[in-house]
Amino acid sequence: MTGWPLAEDAPNTADLAKCVHCGLCVNSCPTYAITGLEVESPRGRIHLARAVAEERIPLTETVQEHWELCLQCRACEAVCPSGVPYGQIMEKARAQLQAAPPSKSWGRTFRRLVLRQVIGRTRVLATLLAPVRFFARSPLRKLLRASGLLRFMGPIGLLEAQLGRPGRPFRPNNKHEEGDVALFTGCVMGELFGDVHRSTVRVLERSGTHVFAPRNQTCCGALSAHDGDLEEARRLARLNISAFEASSAKTILVNAAGCGAAMKEYGDLLEGDSKFAERAQAIAAKVLDFSEYLVGRTLPVGRLPAKVTYQDACHLAHAQGISTEPRTLLGAIEDCELVETDGADLCCGAAGIYSLLQPAMSAELRQRKALEFAKHKPDLIVTANPGCQMQYEAAIREAGIEARVLHLAEFLDEAQATSTRSP
Amino acid sequence: MSMSTKLLDELRNLVGSENLLHKPEDLLVYELDGTIDRALPEAVVFPANTEEVQGVVHACNTHEVPVTPRGAGTGLSGGAIPARQGVIVGTARMRRILNVDPLERTALVEPGAPNIQLSEIAAEHGLFYAPDPSSQKACTIGGNVAENAGGPHCLALGVTTNHVVGMEVVTASGELEWLGSYGPDSTGYDLRGLFIGSEGTLGIATKVAVRLLPIPETVVTLLAIFDDVEHASETVSAVIGAGLVPAALEMMDRVTLQAAEEGLRCGYPPNAGAVLLIELDGIEELVQEQVQEARAACNKHGATEIRTATEANERTQLWKGRKGAIGALGRIAPNYYLLDGVVPRSKLVETMGEVSRISQKYKFPVANVFHAGDGNLHPCLLFDERDEGSTAKVLEAGAEIMQVCVDAGGALTGEHGVGYEKNRFMPLLYSETDLENMRRVREIFGNSGTFNPCKVLPEGTGCGEMAHQKGALQAAGPEAYV
Ligand SMILES: Cc1cc2nc3c(=O)[nH]c(=O)nc-3n(C[C@H](O)[C@H](O)[C@H](O)COP(=O)(O)OP(=O)(O)OC[C@H]3O[C@@H](n4cnc5c(N)ncnc54)[C@H](O)[C@@H]3O)c2cc1C
Ligand code: SF4
Ligand code: SF4
C-alpha cells in the first residue's frame, strides 16, 4: 500500500529508503541557502515523499509547494554520500502532482499544453520562434526597451531580458546521413542558439572531428520529465533513440547540459518499456558532453585576451559530474584570465522553465550571480547550457553589467579564430 | 495536546509569519535529526537575533510549553528532537560570521553558521578552526558547542571546548548572559565549560567567540592498508606509543571502505580489511621525521601498502571518503544505528571483538569507522526500520555495546552526546548523587524541566512514548490538512 496516485511512476521505495537523513546535503541546496527552511531542503523534500508513500500524510498543497520550489538542480545528489538518486525521486514526485494536483490551476494545464504541443513538436516550435528571432534583432525591441513597458509585462518582460541576439536556426538535415559522431540539436537550442551549434561544429572540425546532425531527432524530453510528464518524455526519448539508431553514430555529442543529462539517463526513463529498455541504454551509453569529448583531443592554439568566468551548468556539474573539463579547455586559451567566483556551481535559477514558474526564487538566485559578476567584473561569462545563458543575459541586463555571455563552444571558436588570424 | 493560538500569535508577532512553521506537513520535516528517534513539534520558529530568541523563550516559558533548540539537525543522539513536543527554536537565520580578528586569532560567529563556513572565512587569513566534525559541511557552531563536537583533527588539538573562549547565551529562564571571556584565562567557576556539551539543556547560545589557529606549514596524510582490524589497531597503539601525536588518526573497516568507495570513489582499496588515515602536520623537518616513524610503525604491524598525500587536493581526496563514510552506509542498508562509545586505546582490539560478537548475535551487520587515536568507536549497526521490531532490537544490541564500553573502563559517548537516545544508560556511569547534582545545575540555569526535556538525564514518564510515534499524524486524519 502506498499513498501515490500514479502507482506506476511512484518514487521508488528503495530510493527513498536510501536517505539516512544525515543532513549533509542541506547547505548545497540553493533553496535552503536562501530560505533557511528544512522544508525547502533535499532532506525535507525526501522526508515528505516518504511520508506520502507511507500514507502518513496525503498529497497536499503544502507538499506540492515545497516540491515545486525545488530547482531540480541536483546539487544535493552530487554531494549525497548515500547515493540517493534525488533527480529521479523528484521527477517521479512531480509525476504524482501531474496525476493528481492538490491545487488545480490553469497554469499547469497551459504549461503541459505548451510542452506537449510546442516544445515537443519541432515544426510548431520552429514556426512560433521565427517571429521571436525577428523581434530580437528588430528596432521594435529597442523601442520596447526604451519605453520601460517591459517592467510591467511580468513573464514577457523576463523572457525579453533573457533573450540574447539569436542567429539563424540550426536544424538537422532532411537527408539520410550516416557517420561516427552525431550532434544533438535539441528544441529551443536549435531555434534560438543556432550560433552555438555552428561554433560547436567548427571547433570540432578544427580538432579533426566531423559531425553531422541526424534527421528526425527532436527535443530530448528533459523539460517534460522535470515537470513530471514522463509519458511525453518517453515519447520524445523513443523518437530520438530511433533517429540516432538510424544514423549508426558511435558517439552522440550534446552541447546543452540539460539535454545531455536527460539523454544519459534514457535507460532509467525507459526501464519499464520492454521494446525500448535495452536500446535506450545503448543510446545513453553513446552520449557525451561536448567538453567531455573535446578535452581528450588535440586542439589548435586559441587566444583571447579577456577576463573570463566559467559558471557551471547544474546538469553538467551535478548530474553529469563534469566540472573540470570545461575549465581545462578554458585554461588552455592564451591571454585569457580565468576568475573563479563564489557559488559558480550554485544554480543560476534558470532551471528549465523554473524562472517563469517561480519568478521570485529564480530572481533571488539570478541576483546572487549578478553580485559576483559586479564584484569580479569579467568581460566574458561562459557556461554550457542555453537556459543558463538566457538567465545570465537577464542578470547582467538587470544589474547594468558590461559583459558578454557565451557558450563554451562559442568561446573556443572565437579564441581559435582570433589566433589563426593574428600570428 | 495542541498549542494555544495565543502562543502562536505571540510567536508570530515576535518573528514574523514567514518565520513560523505550524502546518502539519511542515512540522513533519522537523521530527528527526541524524538518528533514530522522532517526535513532532507543534511549531518551529526562526528568530533573527538575540532579542527574538529571548522573546521566544519568554513566551514559551510563560505558557509552560517546551522549547528545543535546533541547529542543522545533524545530531546523532536525538538532541534536537522535541521529545515533549512544543516549540523548536531553529538558528538557521542566525548564520553570520560577525568578525574575524587575525591578530587576536579569534572570531565571533552566530550559532547557526555552518562549521565549514567559519573555516573557509578563516582560511582567507591563513587561519583555521580546529574542530572538524565529519558533518562540518552542514552542522552549526551552536550545535557543535551543545555537543562539544570533535572531529578527525581533534586528536592533537582537542575538541570544541578547547577552542571556544566564550559565548552569549539566552538561558533556559530567558536571561541574557555572557559566559567565559575573550582571553585564555578566566577566574572563578568555568560556566563556559559547563555550557559546552550541555546538549541544549541550559539555554541557547546566540553568539560564540572562537579561537583560530594558523594553518600548519606542512601537512602529510598517510593511508595505510591492512588485512584486518587487529593489525590496524596494533598500529594505532604503536604510533601513539612511539610518542607521536598525529593531527588525526582514523580507522575504517572493510564494510565501511566498501560503502565509501562505492559511494564516493575516493580511491580506497575496496578489498582491504582495514585502513588507517594518519595525518601529521607542523614544520617541514619535524613532519618528515614523524612520517618516517609512522611508516615504520605501520610496516612493523603488517601494513600491506602505504600511500602518501602531500598536496591539498590529494589529501582532500583521501579525507573525502572518511568524511562521507557514515552517510555512505545508506548504500548498503536503509538505516544505521551509530554508536559512539569510548574505550582506553589498550582495549581497542578486545572491544572490537566484542562488538563483532554482538553484531553476529543480533544478526545486524556492523560497519566500523572511528577516531582510533582517542579510542572513540563508532560501530554502526545496519538495519531496516521497516522490518517489524527491528528498531527495538537494534537499540537492545546498542545497549549491549555500550555496556561493553563501560565495562572496559570507557564512556557512553565520545562526541555525539547522550541526548534522548542514551539518557537511560547514564546510571551505568553515574551514581544517584552525581545525577542529582547534574539536575541542580540545570535548575541554576532556570531549566525546570521544559527546556529541551528528556535529554541527557534519565527522566521518568512522559518521554518514552515519543519515539516512533508514526501514527500521531495519521490519527489527526486528512481533515487536518485542509
Ligand atoms: C554523517 C555525520 C557525521 C558526523 N560526524 C561527527 C563527528 O565527526 N564529530 C562529532 O562530534 N559529531 C559528528 N556528527 C554529529 C553532529 O553533526 C554533531 O553533533 C553536531 O555538533 C550537531 O550540530 P547541528 O547543528 O546539526 O545540531 P542539531 O543536531 O540541530 O542539535 C544538536 C544539539 O544541539 C542543540 N543546539 C543546537 N543549536 C544550539 C544552540 N545555538 N544553543 C544551544 N543548543 C543548541 C540541540 O538542542 C541539540 O541538543 C556527525 C553527524 C553526521 C550525520
Ligand atoms: S539526501 Fe543524502 S545527504 Fe541528504 S540527508 Fe539524505 S542521505 Fe543525507
Ligand atoms: S535539486 Fe537543487 S533545489 Fe532541489 S533539493 Fe536538490 S539541491 Fe535543492
Residue A116 DSSP one-character state: I
Give start and end residues of each alpha helix (H) in A100-229: 106-114, 122-136, 139-147, 155-162, 188-192, 194-206, 222-226
Which of B247, B218, B220, B250 is CA-nearest to residue B233?
Answer: B250
Instruction: Say how far apart CA A283 and CA A266 lie, in whole Å.
Output: 8
Strand B274-282 relative to strand B218-226: parallel, antiparallel, unpaired? antiparallel
Q: A90: CA distance to ligand 3 center in Å?
A: 9
Q: Cβ neighbours of residue B116 under 8 Å, at least 6 residues apart?
A: A27, B136, B137
Alpha-carbon span A15 to A89, nearest angstrom: 7
Query: For position B189, which CATH number holds?
Result: 3.30.465.10
Reported as a single tens digit per residue, the pLDDT across A237-271 is: 999 999 999 998 999 999 999 999 999 999 999 99
Q: Which residue has the cell 522544508?
A: A39
Quick one: pLDDT band at residue B312, thresholds 50, 70, 90?
confident
Give pLDDT, residue B461. Answer: 53
Contact A125, A118 (CB under 8 A): yes
| SS3 call for A283 | helix
The reported pLDDT for the residue numbered B186 is 65
Residue A152 has pLDDT above 90, yes or no: no
Same-domain pairing of B357 and B298:
no
Residue B1: pLDDT band (50, 70, 90) is very low
Q: How far is CA B36 from CA A403, B78, B416, B419, B472, in A?
A: 51, 7, 13, 12, 17
> H helices then E strands: how many in chain B?
16, 18
User: Residues B94-117: pLDDT tens digits?
Assistant: 999 999 999 999 999 999 999 999
* Whole-number Å distance between alpha carbons of B420 and B472: 19
Q: How far apart are the first and last CA of chain B?
A: 20
Share the mean pLDDT of chain B: 89
**What was the pLDDT predicted at B185?**
60
Mean pLDDT of chain A: 90
Residue A390 buriedness (CB in 10 A; 0-12 / 13-18 / 19+): buried
Preferred mutation among B25, B317, B378, B387 to probe A, highest tally of A CBs within 10 A: B25
Q: Please give the distance, rounded to the nearest whole angstrom, from the Cα atom of residue A229 to the centre of ligand 3.
A: 19
**d(C-alpha A403, C-alpha A398), whole Å:** 12
Residue B371 clears pLDDT 50, i.e. is over it: yes
Residue type for position B338? L
pLDDT band at B465 (very low <50, low <70, confident <90, very high): very low
User: What's the mean pLDDT in B432-456?
Assistant: 93
* ipTM of the prediction: 0.89
Whether residues B344 and B475 share a domain: the answer is yes
Domain holding B111, by residue range, is 97-214
Picking from B53-67, B70-84, B331-345, which range would have the lowest pLDDT averaged per residue? B331-345
Q: Which amino acid is at B1?
A: M
| Total number of domains in chain B | 4
Convert the pLDDT of each residue in B133-157 to its tens digit.
Answer: 999 999 999 999 999 999 888 888 9
Kindly report, residue by residue over B228-276, the tens digit of the pLDDT: 988 998 899 899 888 898 999 999 999 999 988 887 888 888 789 999 9
Which has more pLDDT, A188 or A247?
A247
State the CATH number of the domain containing residue B444: 3.30.70.2740
Domain boundary among B329, B345, B366: B329
Chain A residues lying within 8 Å of B33, measured CB to CB: 21, 23
Q: Which of A14, A8, A77 is nearest to A50 (CA)?
A: A14
CA closest to A22 among chain B residues: B34
From A322's Cα to the closest Cα of chain B, the distance in A is: 15
Nearest partner of B91 among B218, B209, B206, judged by Cα: B206
Q: What is the 3-state secondary structure (H, E, C) of A376-414?
A: HCCCEEEECCHHHHHHHHHHHHHHCCCCEEEEHHHHHHH
Flag whether pLDDT at B30 surpasses 90: yes
**pLDDT higher at A13 or A108:** A13
**DSSP state letter for A102:** S
Could you say which residues from 307 to 366 on chain A have a Cβ atom under 8 Å away from some Cβ of chain B?
Answer: none
CB count within 10 Å of CB B98 equals 12
pLDDT above 90 (res A166):
no
Q: How much is the pLDDT for B214?
A: 95
| B122 and B199 co-located in one domain | yes
Which of A261, A199, A185, A187 shows the shortest CA–CA distance to A225?
A261
Residues B428, B313 share a domain: no
Chain B, 147 to 206: residues with Cβ < 8 Å from chain A are none
CA separation for the pair B368, B380 (Å, rounded): 6
Residue B103 CB partners (closer than 8 Å, separation 6+) = none
Structure pTM? 0.92
Closest-CA residue, ligand 2 atom 7, reads: A19
Lowest mean pLDDT among A159-173, A320-334, B8-22, B190-204: A159-173
A36·B138 Cβ contact <8 A: no
Rounded mean pLDDT of B397-410? 91
Residue B9 contacts A where some CB pair is shorter than 8 Å: no
What dihedral do alpha carbons A20, A23, A28, A29 form, nearest 10°?
Answer: 90
Cβ-based contacts of A76 with chain B (< 8 Å): none
pLDDT for B463 equals 59
Mutation choice for B interface testing from A13, A24, A80, A84 by most B CBs within 10 A: A24
CA-proximal residue: ligand 2, atom 4 (nearest): A25
Could A57 and B34 be called an inter-chain contact, meaning their C-beta atoms sit closer than 8 Å?
no
What is B95-158 written as a DSSP string? Answer: --EEEEETTTTEEEE-TTSBHHHHHHHHHTTTEE-S---TTTTT-BHHHHHHHT---TTHHHH-
Residue B23 and residue B79 in one domain: yes
In whole angstroms, give the CA distance from residue B319 to residue B25: 37
Check pocket membership of B47 for ligand 1, CB cut-off 6 A. no
Are B336 and B397 contacting, i.e. CB atoms less than 8 angstroms apart? no
pLDDT at B467 over 60: no
- In a mutational test of the A interface, the residue from B29, B120, B264 whose CB has the highest number of chain A CBs within 10 Å is B29
Structural domains in chain A, sorted by start: 7-98 (1.10.1060.10), 181-294 (no CATH), 303-421 (3.40.50.1860)
Q: Of B75, B90, B105, which residue sits at a domain end?
A: B90
- pLDDT exceeds cutoff 60 at B473: no
Per-residue pLDDT at B469 exceeds 80: no
Q: Which residue has the higher pLDDT, B277 or A179?
A: B277
For residue B200, give the amino acid letter: G
B83 and B9 in a common domain: yes
In sequence order, which residues have a C-beta less than 8 Å from that of residue B230 and are 6 or more positions away? B349, B352
Q: Tell whether B229 and B246 lie within a shared domain.
A: yes
- The answer on B275 and B248 residing in a single domain is yes
What are A334-386's pLDDT values in tens digits? 999 999 999 999 999 998 889 888 999 999 999 999 999 999 999 999 999 99
**B195 in the same domain as B269:** no
Give the C-alpha separation, B455 to B83, whole Å: 8
Grid coordinates given for B193: 565549560
What is the C-alpha to C-alpha distance for residues A386 and A222, in angstroms, rounded to an integer?
Answer: 13
Contact partners, residue B241, CB within 8 Å, separation at least 6 = none
Pocket test for ligand 2, best of A27, A29, A80 (most atoms within 8 A of CB): A80
**From the CB of residue B456, how many other CB atoms can be counted at a distance below 10 Å?**
24
A113 or A89, which is more confident: A89
CA of A86 to the centre of ligand 2 (A): 9
Cα dist from A230 to A26, A263, A356, B10, B215, whole Å: 27, 14, 21, 46, 51
DSSP type of residue A56: S
Report CB contact under 8 Å: B481, A23.
no
**In whole angstroms, what is the distance from residue A39 CA to residue B73 CA?**
13
Residues B233 and B278 in one domain: yes
CATH of the domain at B71: 3.30.43.10
Percent of chain B topping pLDDT 70: 94
What phi, psi does B335 have (nearest 5°)?
-135, 150
Name the residue facing A24 among B138, B331, B473 (closest C-beta).
B138
Residues with Cβ within 8 Å of residue A143, at least 6 apart in sequence: none
pLDDT reported for residue B280? 94
Q: Which residue has a Cα nearest atom 53 of ligand 1?
A: A22
B176-220 residue pLDDT tens: 999 998 665 667 889 999 999 999 999 999 999 999 999 999 999
Query: Does the CB atom of residue B73 touch ligand 1 within 6 A?
Result: yes
Q: What is the pLDDT of residues A96-144, one digit of tens each?
A: 998 888 887 777 888 888 888 877 787 777 787 777 777 777 787 777 7
Contact B321, B261 (CB under 8 A): yes
Q: What is the pLDDT of residue B460?
A: 63
Q: What is the pLDDT of residue B468?
A: 39
Domain stop point among B329, B363, B381? B329
pLDDT above 70 covers a percentage of chain A that reads 99
Measure the CA dihedral A11/A16/A22/A28, to 10°.
-20
CB atoms within 10 A of CB A277: 16
Q: Are residues B79 and B119 in the same domain?
A: no
Q: Which CATH number belongs to the domain containing residue B222 in this structure?
A: 3.30.70.2190
**Does residue B311 sit in the same domain as residue B337?**
no
